[in-house]
Amino acid sequence: MNLIQPLEKSDRPILIAGPCSAESEEQVMKTAEQLAIHNVPVDLFRAGIWKPRTRPNNFEGIGRMGLQWLKRVKAEFGFRVTTEVAKTEHVFDALKAGIDVLWLGARTTVNPFSVQEVADALKGADIPVFIKNPINPDLTLWIGAIERVYSAGITRIGVVHRGFSKFGHTIYRNVPQWQIPIELKRQFPDLMILCDASHICGNKEYLFEISQTALDLNYDGLMIETHIDPPNAWSDAEQQVTPFELKEQILNRLQVRTPDIEGAEFRENIEDLRSQIDVIDRELIQMLANRMQISDLIGKYKKKNNISVLQPARWNEILEKTMEQAKPLELSEEFVEKILKAIHQESINHQEKIMIGKDFKSRVS
């Protein structure tokens, strides 16, 4: 693929900002106005016009009339504008209204029929397109969507990483699984990649941290949802920030590294590696928590069937199998054994808690 950058790069990260959904002309215009007043460096003003909702009877978007509001934003504030398209009519309407950039949402990328429909509608158009990752952690599906859009003649393509859905409780709405976009970048080094921190977080709390991690991992920029009155937003109320908060609490705090100072390359490499380590550590903790959740389920089953917590044969099997796996991976036996025992001990504590209903600190060595 011979990709062209969908947006111009500068020495600061690219920013796509705007409300999750266009709700009313006033809400759209006021949000844009606040962004302008606070000098937020907006490269693209976003607003969902057609909203794919997980469950029915939620606000499904204002529809094509909202495109006129985006045109007003462009005319009055000079921001270029973008929206999500998922169907042929969306593409036609958006092109007709002069929308500058389009994006495919996670619920579209996941479905090759839908991606193909959008790609077919795009044939002959000359417009940049961003492709969000699919809902599930499947890199091939993501690449497939890029290829379908590229085959339709679109060469200005970028991607947006918005995290992946996961069953069970996590601190994120969509877990980042950074290693997936990192692998995508490895395969397509020139592909522009933005991080949609809002949909990864699902709340305001981690927006800064996720945005910083993305920049530390050399992302080209960010997509962040911003709304004039977040608590009363018609969609994604918990994760939106006001334009002022976006500027003060996120953008002003972000560290952007400049590549042209002495020793910068070295520092950049080290920081890159450290960010990757931080990411892996966070994931390790999450994986351990997931393992304990499964262990709890086994504990409940054991209790119901009156089976003892410790099954020596099973424990031996885990130990042997894992040590075997660790051998060629250059992890010392001593280290792996220590970790496994600590994990096993925690599992036992969890299951004992289920059996007897209180903390039980036994030692298995």
Residues 6 or more apart whose CB falls under 8 angstroms from that of 173 comprise 163, 199, 200, 201, 202, 203, 239
* Per-residue contact string for residues 114-153; x = within reach of ligand PEP by CB under 6 A: ------------------x---------------------
Which residues from 86-105 bind ligand PEP, rule CB under 6 A? 105
In the bound complex, what is the minimum distance in angstroms from residue 23's beta carbon to ligand PEP?
13
Q: Examine residue 247 and tell whether it contacts ligand PEP (CB under 6 A).
A: no
Nearest to 31 by CA among 67, 79, 99: 79
Q: CB-wise, 46 or 74, nearer to Mn ion?
A: 46
239, two tokens? 């994760």
Q: Examine residue 236 and tell whether it contacts Mn ion (CB under 5 A).
A: yes
Residue identified by tokens 């158009």 is 125
Q: Which stretch binds Mn ion (CB under 5 A): 60-68, 214-222, 230-238, 320-328?
A: 230-238
Q: Examine residue 199 and tell whether it contacts ligand PEP (CB under 6 A).
A: yes
Q: Under a CB-based contact definition with an 8 Å cutoff, are residues 309 and 348 in contact?
A: yes
Q: Examine residue 227 and tell whether it contacts ligand PEP (CB under 6 A).
A: no
3-state secondary structure of 110: coil
Q: Under a CB-based contact definition with an 8 Å cutoff, are residues 9 and 38 in contact?
A: no
Radius of gyration in angstroms for the set of CA atoms belonging to the chain, rounded to a whole number: 24
In the bound complex, what is the minimum distance in angstroms from residue 18's beta carbon to Mn ion?
10
Q: Examine residue 162 and tell whether it contacts ligand PEP (CB under 6 A).
A: yes
| Residue 293: other Cβ atoms inside 10 A | 12
Q: Examine residue 224 and tell whether it contacts Mn ion (CB under 5 A).
A: no
185, two tokens? 């970048």
Q: CB-wise, 138 or 278, nearer to ligand PEP?
A: 138
Give 133's DSSP letter: P
Q: Which of 17, 32, 106, 121 binds ligand PEP (CB under 6 A)?
A: 106
Residues in contact with ligand PEP by the rule CB under 6 A: 20, 48, 105-107, 132, 162, 196, 199
